[in-house]
Amino acid sequence: MSRISLEDFGEVIRLAEPVRTVKEAARAIGVEEGKIVKTLVVKCGGEFKAYIIRGTKKLDLKKLGCSMATPQEVLNMTGYPVGGVPPVLNIPVYIDIDLLKDEYVYGGGGDDYSLLKFQPRVLVERGVAKPVEL
């Protein structure tokens, strides 16, 4: 599986300390937690999908009819570890429509030491993510 170049979609920010939570990521770069997004990989039947939501929000798996992918499934399907999954993937990606009003947000940058600063609307404009109401 080939990786997509994250630099084509935003600025990769390298950090001195690992960040594994929304709170840690926000503190590391000095923004409010609402500016941090998480890319969650789920399994719906036999298909894997990713949902990009605000870090302060919970994904309603029951409503979607999905379950969370295991850390090993996430790594196998995306090539990235849980916590570092970027918003640009080779599986179907859906972005919370609420994020499209933000000029910039920060998401996984591929590992525990990186974040990706990106414009949510660019993912939609470039066909990388489909906007949905979550």
Instruction: Give per-residue pLDDT as tens, 43-102.
Output: 999 899 999 999 999 999 999 999 999 999 999 999 999 989 999 999 999 999 999 999
Mean pLDDT of 25-49: 96
Q: Are 29 and 37 in contact (CB under 8 A)?
A: no
- Is residue 75, in this structure, part of any structural domain at all? yes
Q: Is 123 helix (H, G, I), strand (E, B) or coil?
A: helix
- Is residue 68, in this structure, part of any structural domain at all? yes
- Is residue 95, in this structure, part of any structural domain at all? yes
- Is residue 88, in this structure, part of any structural domain at all? yes
- Is residue 1, in this structure, part of any structural domain at all? no
- Is residue 98, in this structure, part of any structural domain at all? yes
How many separate domains does the chain show? 1
Instruction: Quote the pLDDT of residue 5.
Output: 87
CATH number at residue 112: 3.90.960.10
122 pLDDT exceeds 80? Answer: yes
CA dihedral 76, 84, 53, 90 (to 10 degrees): -40
Residue 1, CB-side half-sphere exposure with 13 Å CA sphere? 12
Q: Which domain holds residue 87?
A: 6-132
- Is residue 118, in this structure, part of any structural domain at all? yes
In sequence order, which residues have a C-beta less than 8 Å from that of residue 49 and are 6 or more positions away? 41, 42, 66, 91, 92, 93, 94
Global confidence as pTM = 0.94
The pLDDT confidence band at residue 111, using thresholds 50, 70 and 90, is very high
Return the biggest CA–CA distance within the chain.
Answer: 39
